[in-house]
Amino acid sequence: MNASIILLMSLLLLAAGCGKKGQNGWGEMVVPVVAAPAQQQAVEETIEAVGTLAANERVEVKSEADGTVEAIHFEEGQQVEAGQVLAELDQAKLRAALAEAEANLKLAETTRQRYGALLQTQAVAQQEVDQTEATWAASHALVERLTAELKDAIIRAPFAGMAGARLFSVGQFVPRGTTMTTVSDQDPMKVEFRIPERFLGQLKPQQAVKVETDAYPDTPFRGEVYFIDPEVEVATRTLLLKAVVPNPQGRLRQGMFARVALVMKVNEQAVVIPETALLHQGDLTFVYVIDGEEHAQMRPVTVGVRLVNAVEIIEGLQPGEHVVLEGHQKLHPGAKVAPRPPDPSESAPHPA
C-alpha cells in the first residue's frame, strides 16, 4: 500500500513538472518556436552577368575647319540642345574671301549672259562662250565652298545631350579635326554584357534586365534587351547583348561598371519562405509545418530560386501554411508547439 502511494505521488510530481514548461493534456511538452506563413509572390529566374554602361549616343565634337577660337558658348557639363552653338572660330578672313568670290560670281554671271546673247547672232565664237560658262561654274563652286567653310567655323551640338570637358580656349588656334569637347545623350543609357551561348535558345528581344552599380548599391535600375548579337564570340563562346535602361535623373554615366541580371522566367505566384526554415538531412531538404492542432510535422520540399534571406519552394508547400523558423533543436515530428511571429525588425523575403 505504501509503495503504491509513493508511485502515485511520483507520477503527479512528474506531471506537475511538465506542466511548468507548458502542456496540453497530461505531460505533453509544448515547444516555443518562431513561425511564419508561406507567402505567394512573383519570383524571377535570372542569369547574372557583368557589363558596362554606355550613353545612348555619344560623339566627339571636332573642328571641321582651321582657325582661331573667337568665342565659347557653353559650360562644361551643361545640357545643350540640338544645333546649339558651342564655339565660333575667327571668320573675318573667310567672310572677306566669300565677298570676293561672290563679286567674281556676279561678274561671271553677267559675262555669261552677254556672251549667250551674242552667240545667238554669231557675234562670238562658241569657244569664248564655253570659256565664260567654265568661269561662271568655277566661281559658283568657290562661293559654295567658302559658304560651307564659313558654316564649319561655327561649331554646333549634333544632338541634345550633356557637354563634356572643354578641350580648348579662346585665342587658341585649332587645326581641322581637333577634338573640342564631347556631347552625350545619357537618357536612356545602354548596358552591354555577355552571357554563355548555352542560353541562346532562351533569349528574345525585350527581355527584362536589372542593373546594379557600386555607386547606387541599394537602387536597382530596370531595362530591357534590344540587341542580341547574331554571332557567338569563338574565344569565349559568349553572346553580346545590349539593353536600354531609362536614366531620367542622370545618375548612370558613360563607362560605369554594372552587375546585370537577365530575367529568363517569371513565376507570378511562387511560394516563398524565409531561408531559416530549411533543414537538410543528406540530400533531403525539409521544413517543419505547423498543422491545425499546432503540431509540427516534417515535410520534404523542393527548393527553386534563392532570394535575399528567402527561397522559392517549387513543391511541398501551399501559400499560407506556417513553417518553423526558429526552435528546430527541440522539435520532432508530431511535437506540440507554441508559435509566435518573427521579430518585425527582421527583413521580409523579397527577390534578389
Dump pLDDT digits (tens) for 148-178. 888 889 999 999 999 999 999 999 999 999 9
CATH dotted code for 91-151: 1.10.287.470
In CATH, what is the architecture of 46-56+186-266?
A: Beta Barrel (2.40)
The pLDDT tens digits for 189-219 are: 999 999 999 999 889 889 999 999 999 988 9
Would you list the domain boundaries of the chain? Answer: 23-42+268-340, 46-56+186-266, 65-90+153-177, 91-151
The pLDDT tens digits for 279-301 are: 998 888 999 999 988 999 999 99
Closest among 199, 224, 220 to 209, alpha carbons compared: 224
- Mean pLDDT throughout 241-249? 94
Cα distance between residue 55 and residue 191, in whole Å: 9
Q: Is 20 a residue whose pLDDT tops 80?
A: no
- Mean pLDDT throughout 245-252? 92
The rounded percent of the chain whose pLDDT value lies above 70 is 86
342: cis peptide before it, omega within 30°?
no
Annotation: CATH topology of 23-42+268-340: 2.40.420
How many C-beta atoms lie closer than 10 Å to residue 161's C-beta? 22
- Mean pLDDT throughout 117-130? 67
Cα distance between residue 204 and residue 255, in whole Å: 25
Contact between 180 and 63 (Cβ < 8 Å) = yes
Mean pLDDT of the chain: 84
Integer-rounded Cα radius of gyration of the chain: 40
CATH dotted code for 65-90+153-177: 2.40.50.100
